[in-house]
Structure 1
Amino acid sequence: MITLLDYGAGNVRSVINAIEHLGETVSLVTNAADIEQAERLVFPGVGNFGMLMHSLRENGLREPLIRYLHSGKPFFGICVALQALFESSEEVPEEPGLGILPGRVQRFTCDLAVPHIGWNGIKAQQGSPLFKGLHGYEKFYFIHSFHVVPATTEAILTTTDYGYEFVSAIQKGAMVATQFHPEKSGRAGLKLLENFLAGTRETVHLTACPSTTVLAKRIIACLDVRANDQGDLVVTKGDQYEVREQGAVRNLGKPVELAGEYYQQGADEIAFLNITAYRDLPLKDMPMFEVLQQTSQHVFAPLTIGGGIRDFTDPDGRLYSALEMASQYFRAGADKISIGSDAVLIVEDVLRTGHPTGFSSIEQISRVYGSQAVVISIDPRRVYVNSPDAVAHQVISTRYPGPNGERFCWYECTIRGGREGRPVDAVTLAQVCEQLGAGEILLNCIDRDGTNAGFDLELINAVCSAVTIPVIASSGAGKVEHFGEVFTQTGAEAALAAGIFHRREVPIGAVKKYLQGKVEIRPVDDVDPITTP
């Protein structure tokens, strides 16, 4: 029996699924006695350091957890649970940590995009039973803006490079904790968890570790999910956002099955976009919750969900917040939330009033779950102009003249699935959303959607140069060379595609084979070969 400390924030479903996949049974902590009686304790921390520590204190779990950690019994902490072991954090200076290890937590201070999101390597600083069956070249999934700075080196298990070298895992006796998410790290992560659960004692030295680790460029498979005319949830794909063909919704497969296939092919992330989420009661859209729950049982890689995440009022007059909606998706297995149309309206309000409200969906979700949990999905289209001063928007010079020979353009943001244009440009939207607390930009392009003509590199470079958070390039991929272009000619950290994967025109494995040796990628064989849905 594995005891899991769930303090109520983030995606613990995937940790439970990973442990159960490995043959163990999970018991959740409901009170202090559960911690005291635990024999092996797993603590998945997600989101904000202050929220985590506040929750432990308010629920009477702080002191029992400290006693457990001093007992010498096996403990595995994940992400913010690693940070909680130290004395303090820059994220919330007034909230003390558990103080089990001397040191502090600080925000990344490098010229790279923050949060640090994606698959990176580890460098072993000591031997460990956790390394049995692992190799030094394998990568693990990270998603964080802060990292630990131990006051001593004795507990450092691994380090990782991102702008500079930081501590990515610690080990002291039977207490281990990782900044990366093993439950989201494919085969390597499951093997590491398996070694902990098995209580392996043989010290293994990780061989073939790189002298420097490099964050991999991510290949993301996106699944647009909606009900067809028969009421079944299907994966579909539009051409410039039109999903019907000869009057019927394009049916390209079942969401859970396709997600499993893409995971097996080596997808670094899976994104679900619920394009029927504009109904009156999105929290009652149980099929999408079921899709996430079923997918997280077999796909041990990051899952993003988007569509309809906003404040809404039901017919009885009850107000539901976007935070409530996001919380339900996190509990169902999502790791990140994508906000689209609502973000445009939020930014318009900020630009009109000159200040944020503090209560927007972006601010609420990032405050509780951390900026890394909030992705902003931007759906812009080109608008050509004759000069940079023609409009009150951020205008770029383009190599592709407009219909009347215009040499400049701006990118008009849209809402409602691209059906309605709004008076805000994509660059401004990205900048304001970053200020509000968003941690990543998913940058679509209506003009390129479904064209197979390649990504809009000019748009991507304009947004990448305007923000300090990661950017995912989307729309237009038609061949493997397009992925090489976007990674070598822009600052995008990830590239997303849908139709070419669904129609099996370009397999994910072919993309990674083409990119091998050109950019840093995660090897395809890092997935777990036995987790086929």
Structure 2
Amino acid sequence: MEAPSFAYSASSSSLLSLRKTPLSSPRLPRFGNTKHKNFSIRASSSGDSVVTLLDYGAGNVRSVRNAIRFLGFEIKDVQTPQDILNARQLVFPGVGAFAAAMEVLSKTGMDEALCSYIEKDRPFLGICLGLQLLFESSEENGPVKGLGLIPGTVGRFDSSNGFRVPHIGWNALQITKDSGILDDVGNHHVYFVHSYRAMPSDDNNEWISSTCDYGDKFIASIRRGNVHAVQFHPEKSGDVGLSILRKFLNPKSNMTKKPGEGKALKLAKRVIACLDVRANDNGDLVVTKGDQYDVREHTKENEVRNLGKPVDLAGQYYKDGADEVSFLNITGFRDFPLGDLPMLQVLRYTSENVFVPLTVGGGIRDFTDSTGRYYSSLEVASEYFRSGADKISIGSDAVYAAEEYLRTGVKTGKTSLEQISRVYGNQAVVVSIDPRRVYLKDPNDVQLKTVRVSNLGPNGEEYAWYQCTVNGGREGRQIGAYELAKAVEELGAGEILLNCIDCDGQGKGFDVDLIKLVSDAVSIPVIASSGAGAPAHFSEVFNKTNASAALAAGIFHRKEVPIQSVKEHLLKEGIEVRI
């Protein structure tokens, strides 16, 4: 088992305050095949196979590590500025907030070493924030001064034109010049997740190798000589992304695998596979699925429904074309989330061979253990990020935070939403909303947002409001899905996973009334969940609402509807998806 990784101090938002957090070691359930075959193309055993990685201590850098190792290369971590100067190839996977990253680079002296390395035209690949930091400044919690190598200011996307911010999902590139590592990628989607971007100008035009359209045309990648940087995440862009990394790491290789045919024009609608993970009665982690959150078989034994092993299923869905994989940890360790080594190991093993975004939810909150030791939600989330998660999903804790915010109108900065989004950016924080439908004859009966429902209630009711629940749907709260969604967006959520208890496991389609209500109310992406039973349900929710993605579980687990069938149907309906 790995040594404990780094977690954040509860008393500081600075990346410089990282310290080791000891984790307990409960009995580990079996959760899938841990003997992964190595399908990578091996590099030579000489020094040419060593890649220097600048990991300054935030976010999911494990995926970049795994992708580099998958391609057959070894990794040397930057410990001192001299390590940067000595690098043969340098990869900088920037994750998190601009100001926090610059604080680390400047206080460690790595900013000057990084500038010197790049100015000498040595092989460099910056990823996401690793691109943004090359510019003069950023408006994120700023202005904040950057490295100043490329003219321009990094600004926030404009959501006033109807585009969702953060920009999350698979989008198309427009190649503007010989980009080297991006050859053959122009017809394919790559994965973006960011709220800030750099804009093209006459001053920085010589650097630009590709752009992307999302409301406005922004810089998707830069190249000058041996210096490359991309706004998207190649390590999360499937085979296309691995092809990009391979070309950077070994540009002279004759083994370059070209991506298959593609036809990317714009932002694609996402199809997400969800895995509810819990311990069964034997203590083994399994993927399960409930009907309205009941995960036990209706048999004499009343055993937990077992639909497969989480690591194995996640790997299969990646091969099948899932755009993201979402884990919901419903097993427990509720009294000590950082002791949940089994779920952390699921993430670690999954991220070794799954190169699309991974989201994990369940138990991410502030807590105090049995010894009286306090852990912040930031420390808990940090452990999940370092184990391979790209986004974390918050459920009940977000409801409590929203209720308090709506009651007081005050942002304390202490809620899990605020803590995590401040350090990692709101694009890393998903709020999972679990409402149930409450029918009304008169919309004035409640002081909450109501809708006129498509299907009448049991007593002929024409209206309904959506009551949010906590604790796995077991407890209703006096807050509606509409009000909750608006509040968590203000508190720092970057995406909403919108479930519906009434539709869960029914296979009759998504609750279009609910999804339209919420997706029209917020400017962040909304993922439709609960109720999918056929490919037509996906096209219906995309055609009738502003949902950015649609998620399913049971129909994929039971092999009733393959992911590829969903995508083929969406293509026939004229809806752009990643091929």
TM-score band, normalised by shorter chain:
over 0.9
**How far off its partner does 1:65 sit?**
1.1
Determine if the alignment matches structure 1 residue 352 to structure 2 residue 404.
no
8 A Cα contact 1:240 1:449, kept in partner = yes
Deviations 1:446-473 (A, max 9, x none): 0000000100000000001100000000
> How many equivalent residue pairs?
521
Q: 2:190 aligns with which of 124, 136, 140?
A: 140
Q: Quickly say closer, same or farther: Cα 1:516–1:239, change in 2 above 3 A.
A: same
Indicate the residue corresponding to 1:249 in structure 2: 304
Q: Quickly say closer, same or farther: Cα 1:187–1:485, change in 2 above 3 A.
A: same
Indicate the residue corresponding to 1:72 in structure 2: 121
8 A Cα contact 1:137 1:208, kept in partner = no
8 A Cα contact 2:156 2:195, kept in partner = yes
**How far off its partner does 1:54 sit?**
1.2
Q: Quickly say closer, same or farther: Cα 1:223–1:175, change in 2 above 3 A.
A: same
Indicate the residue corresponding to 1:303 in structure 2: 358
Q: 1:236 aligns with which of 281, 288, 299?
A: 288
Q: 2:472 aligns with which of 417, 420, 437?
A: 417
Indicate the residue corresponding to 2:155 in structure 1: 106
Determine if the alignment matches structure 1 residue 340 to structure 2 residue 422.
no
**How far off its partner does 1:173 sit?**
1.0
Indicate the residue corresponding to 2:22 in structure 1: none
**How far off its partner does 1:128 sit?**
2.7
Distance 1:201 1:234 in 2: 41
Indicate the residue corresponding to 1:290 in structure 2: 345
**1:111-510 residue pairs with structure 2 within 5 A?**
111-132=162-183, 134-150=184-200, 151-200=203-252, 213-245=265-297, 247-277=302-332, 279-510=334-565
Deviations 1:270-328 (A, max 9, x none): 00000023521110110001000000000000000000000000001011111001100
Distance 2:166 2:245 in 1: 24
Q: 1:35 aligns with which of 79, 84, 91?
A: 84
Secondary structure at the residue paired with 1:190? helix
**How far off its partner does 1:124 sit?**
0.7
Distance 2:253 2:197 in 1: 28
Distance 2:261 2:316 in 1: 30
Q: Quickly say closer, same or farther: Cα 1:313–1:61, change in 2 above 3 A.
A: same
Q: Quickly say closer, same or farther: Cα 1:47–1:125, change in 2 above 3 A.
A: same
Secondary structure at the residue paired with 1:136? coil
8 A Cα contact 1:161 1:213, kept in partner = no
Farther off after superposition, 219-228 or 50-59: 50-59
Q: Which amino acid aligns with 1:346?
A: A
Secondary structure at the residue paired with 1:349? helix
Gaps of at least 5 residues in structure 1 are: 525-533
8 A Cα contact 1:123 1:209, kept in partner = no
With normalisation by structure 2, the TM-score equals 0.88
Indicate the residue corresponding to 2:107 in structure 1: 58
Secondary structure at the residue paired with 2:240? helix
Secondary structure at the residue paired with 2:135? coil
Distance 1:87 1:217 in 2: 33
Q: Which amino acid aligns with 2:559?
A: R
8 A Cα contact 1:157 1:169, kept in partner = yes
With normalisation by structure 1, the TM-score equals 0.95
**How far off its partner does 1:58 sit?**
2.3
Distance 1:192 1:235 in 2: 33
8 A Cα contact 2:188 2:263, kept in partner = no
Aligned-residue identity in percent: 57
Runs of at least 4 residues of structure 1 off by over 4 A? 206-212
Farther off after superposition, 380-389 or 227-236: 380-389
Q: Quickly say closer, same or farther: Cα 1:510–1:212, change in 2 above 3 A.
A: closer
**How far off its partner does 1:386 sit?**
1.9
Deviations 1:225-278 (A, max 9, x none): 000000000000000000001510000000000000000000000000000235
Q: Which amino acid aligns with 1:138?
A: H
Deviations 1:172-209 (A, max 9, x none): 1111000000000001100010000003499x9x9999
Farther off after superposition, 323-332 or 277-286: 277-286
Distance 2:515 2:574 in 1: 18
Secondary structure at the residue paired with 1:226? strand
Secondary structure at the residue paired with 1:224? strand
8 A Cα contact 2:323 2:578, kept in partner = no
Q: Which amino acid aligns with 1:120?
A: N
8 A Cα contact 2:264 2:578, kept in partner = no
Q: Quickly say closer, same or farther: Cα 1:280–1:297, change in 2 above 3 A.
A: same
8 A Cα contact 2:187 2:264, kept in partner = no
Q: Which amino acid aligns with 1:137?
A: N
Secondary structure at the residue paired with 1:157? strand
8 A Cα contact 2:268 2:578, kept in partner = no
Gaps of at least 5 residues in structure 2 are: 1-49
8 A Cα contact 2:131 2:231, kept in partner = yes
Deviations 1:23-71 (A, max 9, x none): 1001111111211111110000112111111121122211111111112
Q: Which amino acid aligns with 1:477?
A: A
8 A Cα contact 1:159 1:167, kept in partner = yes
Q: Quickly say closer, same or farther: Cα 1:207–1:440, change in 2 above 3 A.
A: closer
Indicate the residue corresponding to 1:528 in structure 2: none
Indicate the residue corresponding to 2:568 in structure 1: 513
Q: Which amino acid aligns with 1:14?
A: S
Indicate the residue corresponding to 1:530 in structure 2: none
**How far off its partner does 1:520 sit?**
3.7
Distance 1:280 1:210 in 2: 47
Q: Which amino acid aligns with 2:98?
A: F
Q: Which amino acid aligns with 1:92?
A: N
8 A Cα contact 2:435 2:469, kept in partner = yes
